[in-house]
Amino acid sequence: MGEPLAELLCVAVGLLLYASALRDARLVRRLRREGVRTEGLVVANVVNRQDRNRNALQTPIIRFHDHQDYEVEFATAIQGVGLGLATGRRVDVMYLPGESQKARVWMRRHIVGPMAGLALGGTLFLGFGLVIAFS
């Protein structure tokens, strides 16, 4: 049998990532049912330059006005290169009334991407945990 601590750690991280993916799926479901749709403006792209050898990751910052006419800014839930959100672009935004900070850019890759990434990470960690346990 493998290292019990390593396999437990991998399984725990995998389950935590699955739980996060499930939480994200619930948020998206609530947005579809109860969300308010509006238009937002990409006001900036914050660049993360931690690794100089790779392409810098960009996190778009979106500004919109909620139903109470408060100005809200949020960072997208997914970051990366080439997400198609150039500064100055107008995008559809969906948010929960009373919880406007839980807004999402209403594009398929910004709705499904975070959930899919978390589920993929959970699968990888659970797989590594099983490989360690049965090796």
Rg of the chain taking only CA atoms, in angstroms: 18
> What is the percent of the chain where pLDDT is above 70?
88
Q: What is the pLDDT of residue 54?
A: 63
pLDDT tens column, 8-61: 999 999 999 999 999 999 999 999 999 999 999 999 888 776 655 566 677 889
Cα 21 to Cα 65: distance, rounded to the nearest angstrom: 28
Q: Answer whether 0.85 is exceeded by the pTM.
A: no
Helix (H, G, I), strand (E, B) or coil at 20: helix
pLDDT tens column, 84-96: 688 899 999 999 9
